[in-house]
Amino acid sequence: SIKACLFDLDGVLVDTAKYHYLAWKRLAEELGFDFTEHDNERLKGVSRMASLDILLSIGGIELDESKKQELAERKNDWYFEMISKMDESEILPGALEFLKECRENGLKVALGSASKNAMTILNNTGITPYFDAIIDGTRTTSAKPDPEVFTLGATEVGVSPEQCVVFEDAEAGVEAARRAGMHCVGIGSPENLAKADFVVSSLADMTVSRLNDIVVS
Ligand code: BG6
Ligand code: MG
């Protein structure tokens, strides 16, 4: 049976994808090209510097490392300004209820996020106390689809991979869960998340008993 739930943050628990998008779009516009929501799909779950590389390739721009650092920092300043104003109203539908239900049922709860801003978001939305372990972009060396972020989370809560379920909205994250040997529930639309065991449109469709049905069957 399932003993731990590992959650991605952006796009699973909170609606921060729109802020990432706005900040990257602003950067693209400063660099003189357009960046669409369709383009933005490619950045989901991807680390900050890897996202910048994708953005620059879309714009057909090549820059040296120090200039790239500077642009990534500028994007993050805009992004940080937006997430600084977040509150609990930006927790995605069903997320808080499901976190509570996990804890009431004795499941361990861990965060597995690529973001270096995770603590700001967790604190501003008030959900930090729900986690037994928080693994974010400040604690990992390899980005998703590398399984590191989830493997570390499982180790920290003391649960073996096959008793863990990962909740992910990004293809790279689903792949990371697979490589970690964990179950995976996709959040979003089945087209993008074909490798997940199961896909729901949001955590509002998830309950602990449903989770056990999915995983056991
Ligand atoms: C992921 C997001 O959770 O974190 C990506 O899906 C983002 O869009 C990545 O680039 C890194 O986040 P941050 O906050 O460290 O720039
Ligand atoms: Mg995500």
pLDDT of 217 above 70: no
Whether 8 is a known active-site residue: answer: yes
- In this predicted model, what pLDDT tens digit does every residue of 28-44 receive, in sequence order? 999 999 999 999 988 98
**Among the options 10, 39, 136, 197, which is catalytic?**
10
Distance CA 110, CA 131 (A): 5
CB 102 within 8 A of CB 4: no
Instruction: State the chain's mean pLDDT as an integer.
Output: 95
Distance CA 184, CA 160 (A): 14
**pLDDT cut 70: percent of the chain above it:** 99
Distance CA 135, CA 188 (A): 22
- In this predicted model, what pLDDT tens digit does every residue of 41-90 receive, in sequence order? 889 888 999 999 999 999 999 999 999 999 999 999 999 999 999 999 99
CB 144 within 8 A of CB 111: no
pLDDT of 151 above 60: yes
Binding residues: 8-10, 24, 43-48, 51, 75, 113-117, 144, 168-169
Distance, CA 115 to ligand 1 centroid (Å)?
4
- In this predicted model, what pLDDT tens digit does every residue of 114-135 receive, in sequence order? 999 999 999 999 999 999 999 9
Whether 213 is a known active-site residue: answer: no
Q: In angstroms, what CA-CA distances link 68 with 51, 62, 105, 163?
A: 11, 9, 46, 40
What is the pLDDT at residue 67?
A: 98
Distance CA 173, CA 154 (A): 15
Helices (H) and strands (E) in the chain, counts: 9, 6
- Is any atom of ligand 1 closer than 6 Å to the C-beta of 51? yes
- Is any atom of ligand 1 closer than 6 Å to the C-beta of 137? yes
- In this predicted model, what pLDDT tens digit does every residue of 177-195 receive, in sequence order? 999 999 999 999 888 889 9
- In this predicted model, what pLDDT tens digit does every residue of 4-17 receive, in sequence order? 999 999 999 999 98
- Is any atom of ligand 1 closer than 6 Å to the C-beta of 20? yes
* Residue 185 three-state SS: strand
What is the pLDDT at residue 178?
A: 97
What is the gyration radius of the CA atoms in the chain, in angstroms? 17
